[in-house]
Amino acid sequence: MKPAAFDYVAPTSLDAALTALADGGYDAKPIAGGQSLVPLMAFRLAVFGQLVDLGRIEELQGVARDGDELVIGAATRQAAIAKDALVAEHAPVLAQATGWIGHQQIRNRGTIGGSICHADPAAEYPATAVALDATIDVASTRGRRSIPAAELFEAAYTTTLEPDEVAVAVRIPVRRPGEGTAIFEVARRPGDFALAGCVVRVATSGGAVIDARVLAFGVGGAPIRLAAAEAALAAGAGVGSQELTAALQADADGLTPPEDAQATSAYRHSIVVHVANTAIAEAIADSQ
């Protein structure tokens, strides 16, 4: 047994889980798929007095359409999202992002809410959620609130959630006509953490880009908007144009990517330009 000892509860209702988390305070921790949390516990980088398992709560599962939004239960498994018909139709880039997450054995257990709340800097879902203007519904015994994804991610592994709050659902606006999306990343091996990646959503009118979201991940603590590239695209700069290339370079110059055994900071700098260019081209092609 590698993790430190802890108590474990697996409530079947959200209210019971919220009560357990409120009672446990900082010593209690929600666990969803556990694919990031359990390794941290095995290394004893994380130690908790109590785990509150969200895996047996029915209302946190499943994908549904609610008006102009897809509502995805926070504990919905990544493997289920990858093959969900509603996701494929209304938020296809979320399914594509899922394919980049770990391996099948991981996706069979990992959840969308868990990935978003864990907020790994190299994770695909947080950047995708921001690119799609998603909203995260969260709950605690004190009540419910909705947090725009753009306001959720503060720093590496750090969100604006309070310790007693859990994600209940991820709301994603359904794809509108003329929209195009894409995700692309570079990793040492398939399934490894991305050295750098990019999620792009463009809105077009009459075939021309009028608005863009360009989100980089793996190059900072939280998903990072490449604002110069977004502005250049909205102003009509095309793929491979001088304007877009200069804008991407300016965005990259503003980053200080991490340096580790996998890649130097300089290498990540060059990759982020490459993955952004690739994802932008694919998103525009997708919109046509």
Partner 1 sequence: MSRQQVEMTVNGRVHAGEVEPRLTLVDFLREDCALTGTHTGCEQGVCGACTVLVDGEPMRSCLMFAVQADGAQVTTIEGIGGGREGLTPVQQAFMDNHGLQCGYCTPGFIVTVEAFLRDTPSPSDEQIREALSGNVCRCTGYQGIIAAVRQAADQLAAEARS
- Taking a C-beta distance cutoff of 8 angstroms, is the pair 113, 122 a contact? no
Residues 198-217 binding partner 1 (CB under 8 A) are: none
Chosen residue from 12, 23, 27, 42 binding partner 1 by CB under 8 A: 42
Element (H, E) at 126: helix 124-131
109 binds partner 1 (CB under 8 A): yes
Which residue type, as a one-letter code, is found at position 147? I
Judged by CB under 8 A, which stretch of 34-42, 112-120, 156-164, 213-221 contacts partner 1? Answer: 34-42
Choice between 34 and 173, CB closer to partner 1: 34
Number of H helices and number of E strands within the chain? 11, 14
Give the C-alpha separation, 95 to 175, whole Å.
Answer: 13
Please name the residues in contact with 209: beta carbons below 8 A apart, sequence gap of 6 or more. Answer: 202, 203, 233, 234, 236, 284, 287
Tell me the per-residue interface mask from 176 to 195 with partner 1, x by CB under 8 A, - otherwise.
-------------xxx----
Among the listed residues 55, 173, 221, 258, the single contact to partner 1 using CB under 8 A = 55
- As measured in angstroms, the least distance from the Cβ of 3 to partner 1 is 5
Q: Which residue is it, tokens 């409530």?
A: 11
- β-pairing, 50-53 vs 28-31, is parallel
User: Nearest approach, Cβ of 27 to partner 1 (angstroms)?
Assistant: 12
Of 12, 105, 256, 265, which lies in the binding site for partner 1, with binding defined by CB under 8 A? 105
Decide whether 43 or 160 has the Cβ nearer to partner 1.
43
What is the rounded distance in angstroms from the CA atom of residue 255 to the CA atom of residue 269?
8
Q: Site residues (CB under 8 A) for partner 1? A: 1-8, 10, 34-35, 38-39, 41-43, 51, 53, 55, 79, 102-106, 108-109, 189-191
